[in-house]
Amino acid sequence: MTTDTTQSLPATLIDSFGRRVDYIRLSVTDRCDFRCVYCMTEEMEFLPRSEVLSLEELYLVAQAFTELGVNKIRLTGGEPLVRNNVMSLIERLGRLDGLRELLLTTNGAQLEKYAAPLHKAGVNRINISIDSLNAERFQRISRVGRLDRVLAGIEAARAQGFDRIRLNAVIMKSYNEDEVLALTDYALSRELDIAFIEEMPLGNASDHDRESTVCSNDWVREQLEQHYELIASAAKTAGPSRYYQVAGRGSRIGFISPVSHNFCADCNRVRVTVEGRLLLCLGNEHSVDLRAVLREQGGGVEALKQAIVAAMSLKPERHYFYDKDHVQPVRLMNMTGG
């Protein structure tokens, strides 16, 4: 006789601070075709294949979360589009019951090939990272990336009619702080959204000292306000982002400011690394090993759901980036899932 464990599980995920978790960021690979200075070291060692969740395991994790009320999944990495056969996973996720939004964050280098199949598979929105419009500088920041590929990728995405396309730019002193306006003009002229992201101290950056390059979004916003009228937007994203509408334009400008501002009280998300580690907070190490639930304990979706519900009590109240009294995460962003 089997015991029905589902009845004791809640329909939604609530943590011990009363926050509802309805959004996951699912990392589908730790690998990437770029080596951005703020995200990776130059010589990276990636996970052996045996430690990485299979596409089927990633699907089961996504299914378990949606059965617990998660209605928004962002696929990330590493670079999600370098994962072998990733489209087969995305097509299945696009048909998952209960999922309201399927999102993807990409470096854009392969969007010429993938924009159409992604749209067809039901991806609603895409974020494309671009930190410079100058080819040489773009290569300095990404170490190996090519700007022309990304620009072509952006055009390919625009041609598909996604609900929204947002550009992501990490602004860093002595790298690209003089491009805030150029990047914004580029986005506005194409009716794209753009978000500025503060560099987070996730692992050690090998080419620079993060504390000397981190650039506050208050400063970025002041630069923009000299040229544009920014109107605080009603768009609520429940996270560290705040959006502004540019007067008379269709684009929104977002400021993702986990370093200078703390919006943890609104946090609605958790992350799953490609090793199957459920991270309860970007800036803390609290985690639960979902791969062990799947492989060592031989569990399926129900066992995953129980582990996920139990994990909610571990979600910390907040992070403490650049605070010397608190331990900083050692994970690099490609492992964390941006």
Q: Does 213 bind ligand SAM (CB under 6 A)?
A: no
Q: Which residue sits closest to ligand SAM, CB atoms considered?
A: 338
Among 118, 167, 200, 282, binds ligand SAM (CB under 6 A): 200
| Whole-Å CA distances, 54 to 144, 287, 329 | 28, 20, 26
Q: Which of 21, 28, 36, 301 binds ligand SF4 (CB under 6 A)?
A: 36
Query: Which pair of structure tokens corresponds to residue 300?
Result: 């399926």
Of 32, 68, 70, 200, which one interacts with ligand SF4 (CB under 6 A)? 32
**Site residues (CB under 6 A) for ligand SAM, limited to 269-308:** none
Residue 193 site contact among ligand SAM, ligand SF4, none (CB < 5 to 8 Å, cut-off depends on kind): none
Q: Which is nearer to ligand SF4, 28 or 224 (CB)?
A: 28
Whole-angstrom distance, CA of residue 331 vs CA of residue 338: 12
The position carrying tokens 């370098």 is: 82
Q: Which stretch binds ligand SF4 (CB under 6 A): 14-22, 32-40, 93-101, 282-290?
A: 32-40
CA distance 62 to 55: 11
Minimum CB–partner distance for residue 38 and ligand SF4 (Å):
7
Q: One symbol per residue from 34 to 73: x for binding ligand SAM (CB under 6 A), - otherwise; what is it?
A: ----xx----------------------------------
Q: Is the Cβ of residue 196 or residue 305 nearer to ligand SAM in the bound state?
A: 196
Q: Helices 301-311 and 55-67 sit at what angle, rounded to 10 degrees? A: 60
Taking CB under 6 A as the rule, which mask of x and - marks residues 117-156 in contact with ligand SF4?
Answer: ------------x---------------------------
Smallest distance from ligand SF4 to CB 176, Å? 14
Q: Is residue 39 involved in binding ligand SF4 (CB under 6 A)?
A: yes
Residue 167 tokens read as 């550009």
Interface residue list for ligand SF4 (CB under 6 A): 32, 34-36, 39-40, 77-79, 107, 129, 333-334
Give me the residues that bind ligand SAM (CB under 6 A), please: 32, 38-39, 76-77, 79, 105-107, 129, 168, 170, 197, 199-200, 202, 333-334, 338
